[in-house]
Structure 1
Amino acid sequence: MVAVKPNEADTLLSRIDPARPVVLLFGPDAGLVAERAAKAAATALAGNTDPFALVRLDGDAISADPARLADEAYTIGMFGGRRVIRVRVGGRNITAAVEPLLASPPADTLILLEAGDLKRGQGLRELVERSPRGLAIACYADAGRDLDRLIDEELRAADLAIDREARELLVSLLGSDRLASRGEVRKLALYAHGQGRVTIEDVEAIVGDASATGFDEAIDTAFAGDAATSDAATARLVGAGTSPQALLAAAIRAAVQLHRWRLAIEGGASVRNVVEGARPPVHFRRKPLIERALEAWSADGLSAAVIDLGKAAAEARKQSALAEAICSRALLSLATNAARRRRRS
């Protein structure tokens, strides 16, 4: 088994080894999973004019008919050349469909499996990681360094530089979904086209808070004890097509971060100093909610919240048909717990 380091992932996908034609892209950042799959497919099909060279399959359909994936993988293209199969992995197990391809890989087909967050040592992830003919790449939410790289990549392509203060604000505004963040930076580049540099005024004028307008509203208000706002935000997200599993994964990350900050507070730091000193910076619109959450919760309480959210995430993966209800219930429970803690404090 070869462990893929985060900084090696994009390089590996730009020159995929033909001896490893089964590639599993997984993790909580659905945007990054989709972006990497699209780039890998485009690289593999460069110069191929066959309109049928790219095939998209649904994981749940494959689970019901495991032979379908092999049928597609071993099919020879009408005009020859490489083929790519992109599989959107859902809540059902597709290991039975993938095993034959790892045992006897197709000669000229790349199989891209796009999944959510998968546990180490289980199911599809274990199958691909253990195989010498597979490649498993984790796609985690962008951290500050990743966002800096994304900003540089997009602005360089637009022949733009960026002021230091503008960069810091932009990083604080971007969310944890790669596709959403890239879209915001491209929008900024179009706005600043021809002026040479991006200023803080440009960022303030154009870039919406891609994080706060997404997951953060539902999650921050839950930890702050505002059940009504959290529930409404959750309903909007899911109604717009957001994966409940992805929202739960984001809630777990938020709980872990709050736990780190709360430990610093219990070690003697003030709530205000912890929030002001956060890196990457906390967006100013989020600060009041984060401070309320840190005042309400103890470190032990946040540890318990991480465990409870983890259980909810596991349940949502097992029962995908009930994932929306499971997610809503978990966040509502958080908000109720936080409100109770605030009343006691």
Structure 2
Amino acid sequence: MVAIKAHEAERSLARLDPAWRLVLIYGPDAGLVSERAAGLARASVDDPQDGFQLVRMDGDAVAADPLKLADEANTIGLFGGRRAIRVSPTTKPLLAAVEPLLATPSQDALVIVEAGDLQRSNPLRTACEKAKTALAVPCYGDAARDLGTIIDEMVRGAGKSIDRATRDHLAGLLGGDRQTSRREIEKLMLYVGAEPAVLTEHVEAIVGDTAQREQAMLVDAVFAGKLAVLDLAQAKLMSEGLDPGVMLGAVLRQALALLKARQSVDAGRGVKDVVATMRLPYPRIATTEAALVAWSSPKLTEAVTLIGNAVLATRQDSEMGRAIATRALWTLARLGRAGRSE
């Protein structure tokens, strides 16, 4: 079996075994999937700009006519040299197109297949993991260490510097999607302009959103049962004029997201695997994992009903909105605290 762990991906792709003639790159982080596929494709040919050396194939077209991929992979280049075929993601089954190449690998071309979040039982993932001539590469959201590396590379590339505290602060504000993180850093570099160093105030002005962070703090406090943190976050948001209905709406969205995730856990998936698909900012990963452990599906269903009723009540009586929201949030927080004492 040629299946690797997520942390082994960079090393495996940098030192690709010649026996691997097909590489499946998959996962919930679409940006990272694309980045790794592009990097591998460039490294696998002499001239990435040559359309005969690097062939792009549409995943939907390959799924509609599975023989197209094998035909292209077995085409011998007119001028020799290395070739690579990069197949774009598709929601349609690709197993029929890939199976012939697993049975009889191309000797002329490296085939790179991009895919979304494939479950362990997915036929394409299973087939590639079992084949000796294929490599399956998982791509999950960036951890803080990965984000720190990306930040350092992009800041140096822009000819600037950043201290560790500012870098860690920036990493905490970025999400788990590689492309989105890069766009945010590029935007930050434009804002910094000619200044030699990236400062915390630059990050706060462009990437940081205090209201969003306080709202996230409130939501996580509710499901962690942290009453003191909830009280502080709610007081700050209320003082800033945030509507109680908006506050409850954020908690309701999290309750629905947790319920969906918890159902996946109940079906047999690991908590960390499920949370990895949610594309959360790094600081919220641990709190969400803890919430999934503490909250059962029935309790989350109860939470959705409770918050849904509270949202409706605030719409019907706006003058009592603050009191209604406070009561609902504290009721949920006590449920969260009870979940940790069970």
Q: TM-score range by the shorter chain?
A: 0.5 to 0.7
Matching residue of 1:340:
309
Matched ranges for 1:86-125 at <5 A: 86-125=86-125
Q: Give CA-to-partner distance per residue, 1:158-214, whole Å, 9 cap, x none.
A: 3432134432432233233211211322343355466442111222344477xx7xx
Q: Give CA-to-partner distance per residue, 1:269-315, whole Å, 9 cap, x none.
A: 54538979xxxxxxx9x9x999646866998x76533256899xxxx
1-side partners of 2:168 and 2:248: how far apart? 24
User: Is 2:152 aligned against 1:152?
Assistant: yes
2-side partners of 1:272 and 1:339: how far apart? 19
**Unmatched segments (≥5 aa) in structure 2:** 235-239, 267-302, 314-323, 329-342
Matched ranges for 1:212-251 at <5 A: none
Deviates more, 1:53-62 or 1:121-130: 53-62
2-side partners of 1:149 and 1:192: how far apart? 19
Matching residue of 1:11:
11
Matching residue of 1:272:
230
2-side partners of 1:302 and 1:157: how far apart? 37
State whether residues 59 and 89 of structure 1, in contact with CA within 8 Å, keep that contact through their aligned partners in structure 2.
yes
> What is the root-mean-square deviation in Å for CA atoms of aligned residues?
3.9
Q: Percent identity?
A: 44
Shift in alpha-carbon separation, 1:191–1:100, aligned structure 2, 3 A? same
Q: Normalization by structure 2: what TM-score?
A: 0.65
- Three-state SS of the structure 2 residue aligned to 1:176 is coil
1-side partners of 2:224 and 2:208: how far apart? 30
2-side partners of 1:298 and 1:95: how far apart? 35
1-side partners of 2:36 and 2:233: how far apart? 33
Matching residue of 1:85:
85
State whether residues 26 and 115 of structure 1, in contact with CA within 8 Å, keep that contact through their aligned partners in structure 2.
yes
2-side partners of 1:298 and 1:170: how far apart? 23
Count of residues in correspondence between the two structures: 268
Matching residue of 1:231:
none
- Three-state SS of the structure 1 residue aligned to 2:107 is coil
Shift in alpha-carbon separation, 1:290–1:5, aligned structure 2, 3 A? farther
Q: Give CA-to-partner distance per residue, 1:213-238, whole Å, 9 cap, x none.
A: xxx9xxx99xx9xxxxxxxxxxxxxx
Matching residue of 2:260:
305
- Three-state SS of the structure 1 residue aligned to 2:92 is coil
2-side partners of 1:35 and 1:191: how far apart? 24
1-side partners of 2:229 and 2:110: how far apart? 50
2-side partners of 1:94 and 1:187: how far apart? 37
2-side partners of 1:273 and 1:2: how far apart? 50
Task: Give the C-alpha shift of residue 121 in structure 1.
Answer: 2.3
Q: Give CA-to-partner distance per residue, 1:44-88, whole Å, 9 cap, x none.
A: 124567432111112222222111100000111222111111112
Greater Cα radius of gyration, structure 1 or 2: 2
Matched ranges for 1:1-345 at <5 A: 1-47=1-47, 50-192=50-192, 195-207=195-207, 264-265=224-225, 269-272=227-230, 292=248, 304-306=259-261, 338-340=307-309, 342=311, 343=313, 345=328
Deviates more, 1:189-198 or 1:14-23: 189-198
Q: Give CA-to-partner distance per residue, 1:4-60, whole Å, 9 cap, x none.
A: 222221222223222111111111111111111111111112456743211111222
| Equivalent position amino acid for 1:158 in 2 | A
